[in-house]
Every structure is written in structure tokens, then in C-alpha cells.
Chains A and B, each alone.
Chain A
């Protein structure tokens, strides 16, 4: 992981620190009066950035689980859309319940649907020999079609997750309201980054996952059930990507719209690559892309008229293109990525 410890980690650690430093300056130094600095580091933009980051990092983690085990997942967008739609259906069906159980059911629905999409992806790729990129495309088309067909445009989801302030920590200046007064899926997303990062590096499951992603034959020889682990990880990854979509419905927006993921799955994919297939790196990359969206949003709110709003709205997409074009040096994909694995019974 030499490549990781160099550029990506530095970037992943640097960007949040930079943003936090800016936030403190705005809070405590006279910079608050300087409009551009307040716009770039104020509470409003940083909160928006975090909100935009959560679905991206969940999608990117979903991608990491699939791709570190050797399966290309371009269908994150579809898994997210399916997760969002499932959350909406579950939420609207239980509007008459108390808010808590209803949201919990929505979360379960989103996780299960995502996992089912992941399993479908694995089934297509591993059982039926479909090209992995095409299978991902099919998942996107499938969830677009199904959500458009079954979307009840009159249905309204009542209520969404409210912030859960962490005792004591949420009282801290700047950091408190920014990080410790958030709704639950945001906490969960940040926690999952740490869990996946640790598990990939330090557990038996992680070692096996990396092994089947880098060299499945060697792993097989050593007794790892390559295909079974690939099924498992793709389903897990799908569940996380689904949660990224569910977040939009259950926590951020509160409603579903057709095609509401709006390319977030692809940006998440870009974050995974930019983060060098590492959870912490992907977090940094997601934050960068989320921040780009927030900058766009602030510029639109401030009605900056130098540029027409269409060009301002291009910023997140252009930042993504520039980032995957290797802004921070070369990245390295898992060794067996995209190659179907067939066990050879006799050679």
C-alpha cells in the first residue's frame, strides 16, 4: 500500500483539516467579514458538503467491497437508485406508523434491496458469465425502469431522520454542530468507513477479500472459496450503495424523484478510483466531490453573475473528470479486476 500512504492519504487527511481550519478561522478570526472566505468555509457550505459527501462515500464503499474482490461495479448508480426507491416505498407504506419504526423499516428495505441488487450483479457476472460492465449497466437500466414504472407520483413520505446530537461532543465549538449534531445515517457512513478500512487491512475476511481481488487462483489454492466470497462482498457492497440511495430519501430530501441519484453513483465510482480503492482515500475523494457540489450550491445561492448558473453547475462534474484523470498521481486497481474467475479442474 505504498501508493496509498503517499498521495491519497495525505490528500484524504489534508482536505478535512484544511476545511476545519478554515471553519475555525471564520468562527474566531476577523475573516468572517470577508465574504468569499465565509462563503468557502462558513457553516452553511461545510454542512452542505457533508450532506453531499454521505451518499458518495456509501456508494464508494459499496464499490470498494465489490472491486477489491475483483468485480467491476459500474452499477452503483442503479443500486443507489433502487435503494432510494425501496426506502420511499417502505416509508410511504408505513406513514401511519410512528416515525421511528417507519424510518427503521425504510432503512432495512434500502439495505436489503441494495444487497439484492448486489447479489443480482454477482449472479449475472459469476453464474451467467455476463460482462461485468454490461451487467452494471443492466442494473442501472433495470432500477431506472422499475422505479419509473412503479413510482406513485401522488405518494408523499411523511417525516425523515432528525439530527441526533451526541452528548457533550455536540457542544464543542465549530466541530460540534458540524460533525456531532447529525442524523444517524451520516454517523453510520463515517463509522462504516472506519470499520471497512480496518476490516480490509486487519481481519481474515479482509485478507481473503484482497487475495481474491489480486490473485484469485492463488487464493483458491490456499483454500479460499473465491466465488462464495465474491457473492458475499458484492451483496454487502450493494447494501452499502443502496443505503447511499436510501440516505437521500430517509435523511436528506425526504421524498423520491425519478432518477434522483442524478449521477451520484458514477461520482462515487470516481471517488473510489481517486481514493485508490481504499476506504479512507475514498472518504477524502468523496469529501472533495461533495465540497465541489457545495461550492456550486453556494455560488448559485449567492447569485454570482459572472458566470451563467449552468456553468457553475458544471463544477462538480468537471472536478470529477479532472480527478479521475489523475490529479493526484497514478492509482492502481486490484489485480484481477474485471476478469472472470473459473476454477480449472484439470490443466
Chain B
């Protein structure tokens, strides 16, 4: 299935702007139809995410995992693969990082933290490699296998902090903290494995955001300046040409999924080592489909993905303030995300909608002119 071709950046930027305008318009209509005030909703969203120090901090904090999962999906997409498995890779990365982070008391930070991050990346990579390898060796569609592995990862992560059962002799999970109470969680990550704060509590901004931006830069370099990046893009865009050129497309496919898994795993590691400082299954939810929308909204370009992730972080951080101020249920953010995906993936739709709107306005203006 051919992916849409890359466009020169001014065209892409303009298209994206038009798409977002369409989403804002439709979102406002939806909110109005629900009986709320769209302006109050938008204002609440902005206030909650950008208007206060804490809101701004939440936005920055949330941007890092969004950037990384977006990059994860985008990298796979460049190789023509759909990585629906970012959620599972994220979870495996979290579990791996916490597993290292709660042990090895007395290690220096410069060794413990990178080790925990590396194990997080490695766990995510391993989880991403499985569907890549299955795709190459058996032709199993990665769309299905990645999703199935998400469920397996969620169960595995749940087991890792499972409190055991009094009904049976099942032993507790390896990461379970006996003092964690009714919501079972892992023990706290040792201080030497925590990502240091840029701004400490109450703002809680950690260096993970810098790591995410650096990773975006690294990915740009990988895709645009290395042989592997060239092969990856060729395998994704023109598989036959890649084969005729003697590229090892199977190998590239597996590697692309490995890298994609590593990026999502890093996102999980950053969230656990930087923000939560422990692992509980509740933290993991829902990073999968956002990654797809972010990757497409960012047009697959690392810079675009950073901007898209910022937008998603704004939506995420401002949602509760929006609900508080305007009464619009915060779940509507999911609908907005779906609309973003639709409008970005179908530029024709946004153009068509805006055309209709302007035509109606022109018509009504003309009608008003006639009446006058």
C-alpha cells in the first residue's frame, strides 16, 4: 500500500495548518452541539496547559513521551511498517527500567541511570523486534501482531508487580513491593537511577525532555545522513527498487522495528525514571494510538513530530482544566485526536470542509447583500 509522498515543507506545513483549522472548527461545532461554550473550552484548555506555571510544566513533562512514541511510529512508517505496538513497547521499557532502577544500591548516578535507561530501551527493542522478525520470516502482518503483543505486554507488566494471591499458592511478581498497599506497585526507584530535575517539585520538569529532543535530532541524522536511514526509507517507499539495488530489505525491516521498539521503550523508561519513580500498571495506558497520530501530524519529520507532540501535550495537560472551566467532558480530547488523525491523513477533507464553509459564508453574505 503506497504511503503518501513527502511534500516540500511549506506545502506540508500549510496543509497541516489547514487540517488543524478544520479540527478546531469541527471541535467547536461539536462542543456547541453538546451545549457548552466552545470559547470557554478553548480558553480552559489553553489556561490549563500554558497559562500557569504548573500547567506549562505539565505540558513540558508530557511532551517527552509523546515525542518518543511519535518517533517510534514514524520510524516504522518510514520503513513501510505500522507500529501499533508502541503501548506494549512502552510498558516493557518501563518494566525493564524499573527492574534495574530498584536494585544495585550504591551505584554512582553516571552508571546506574544510563544502565536503567539502556535496559528500558533494550526491553522495548526486544518487544519491537518480535513482530518485525515475524513479518519477515512468516509474513504475519505487523498491525495484528503488535496489537496482540500489547495485550501480552500489559499482562506481563501486571504480573511483574502482582501481589500474589491468598486463594492460591501463586507467588507475587518479581517487582512487587509488599508495602505498596491495595494498588500494587513496584518499590521506588533508587535515587541514583532517577532522571535529575531541571526544576524540582512542585514543577517537576526533568531532563527527559532534553533527552527526547536529542533523540529527535539523532533520528533526523539517522534518516537523512546515514546509509541505514537511506536503506530504510527506500525499503519503505519502493520495496522492489530496494531489492533490485541489493538492499537487505528483510534485515532492514527487522531493524526498523527494533529501533521503533527502542524509542517507545525509552519513552516508558523516561516516564518511570523521571516522573513516577516506580511502576504501577495504571501508568502505562494509551500511549499507542497517540503515537500514530503524532507521527502523521508531524509528517514523519522529527521537527514536525516535536511540534505535534507539543500539541498533544497541550491537549493532555489542559483537558482537566477545560472540563473544570467549561464542563466539556475531558474524554472529548480523544475525539479531537481522532479528528486530527482524519484531517491530517486526508488533506482533501479539510480543504473540502473549509471550501464548504467559505462558500456558505459567501452565500450568506451575498444573501445579506441582496437583502440590504
Listed in ascending order, the chain A residues whose CB lies under 8 Å from chain B are 72, 74, 124, 128-135, 137-138, 140-142, 144-146, 148-149, 263, 266-267, 269-270, 273, 303, 305, 308-311, 313-314, 317-318, 320-321, 324-326, 330, 338-339
Q: Which residues of A contact B168 (CB under 8 A)?
A: 303, 305
Which of these, B155, B167, B293, B329, contacts A313 with CB under 8 Å? B155
Among residues 137 to 182 in chain B, which have CB atoms less than 8 Å away from a CB atom of chain A?
A: 138-141, 143-145, 147-149, 151-152, 155-156, 158-159, 162, 165, 167-171, 173
The smallest C-beta distance from A339 to any residue of chain B, in angstroms, reads 7
Alpha-carbon separation in the docked complex, A148 to B149 (Å):
24
Given contacts A310-B155, A310-B156, contact A326 B138 (CB under 8 A): yes
A308 near B162 with CB under 8 A, answer yes
Alpha-carbon separation in the docked complex, A184 to B102 (Å):
54
A320 near B144 with CB under 8 A, answer yes
Q: Which residues of B contact A133 (CB under 8 A)?
A: 1, 82, 143
Is B134's beta carbon under 8 Å from chain A?
yes
Residue of B nearest to A303 (CB): B168
Alpha-carbon separation in the docked complex, A326 to B147 (Å):
17
Q: Which residues of A contact B2 (CB under 8 A)?
A: 339
B289 near A325 with CB under 8 A, answer no
Q: Which secondary structure characterizes the binding site on chain B?
A: helix
Choose the segment among B48-56, B246-254, B342-350, B354-362 that binds chain A (4+ C-beta atoms closer than 8 Å). Answer: B342-350
Q: Which residues of B contact A326 (CB under 8 A)?
A: 138-140
Q: Which residues of B contact A309 (CB under 8 A)?
A: 165, 170
Residue of A nearest to B133 (CB): A325
Q: A124-B346, A303-B167 are in contact. List 9 more A-B contacts (CB 8 A).
A: A138-B342, A138-B345, A305-B168, A318-B152, A320-B144, A321-B152, A324-B140, A326-B140, A339-B2
Residue of A nearest to B165 (CB): A309
Listed in ascending order, the chain B residues whose CB lies under 8 Å from chain A are 1-4, 82, 84, 134, 138-141, 143-145, 147-149, 151-152, 155-156, 158-159, 162, 165, 167-171, 173, 289, 292-293, 296, 329, 331-339, 341-342, 345-346, 348-349, 352
Q: Which residues of A contact B159 (CB under 8 A)?
A: 308, 310-311
Alpha-carbon separation in the docked complex, A327 to B254 (Å):
21
The smallest C-beta distance from A334 to any residue of chain B, in angstroms, reads 13
Which of these, B3, B152, B331, contacts A131 with CB under 8 Å? B3
Q: Which residues of A contact B349 (CB under 8 A)?
A: 124, 128, 130
23 contacts between A and B (CB under 8 A): A129-B346, A131-B3, A134-B292, A134-B341, A135-B342, A135-B345, A135-B346, A137-B341, A140-B289, A141-B289, A145-B333, A145-B336, A145-B338, A270-B148, A303-B168, A308-B170, A309-B165, A321-B148, A321-B152, A324-B140, A326-B140, A330-B139, A339-B1
B145 near A325 with CB under 8 A, answer yes
Q: Which residues of B contact A72 (CB under 8 A)?
A: 1
Residue of A nearest to B139 (CB): A326
A314 near B341 with CB under 8 A, answer no
B289 near A142 with CB under 8 A, answer no
The smallest C-beta distance from A183 to any residue of chain B, in angstroms, reads 27
Q: Which residues of A contact B335 (CB under 8 A)?
A: 142, 145-146, 149
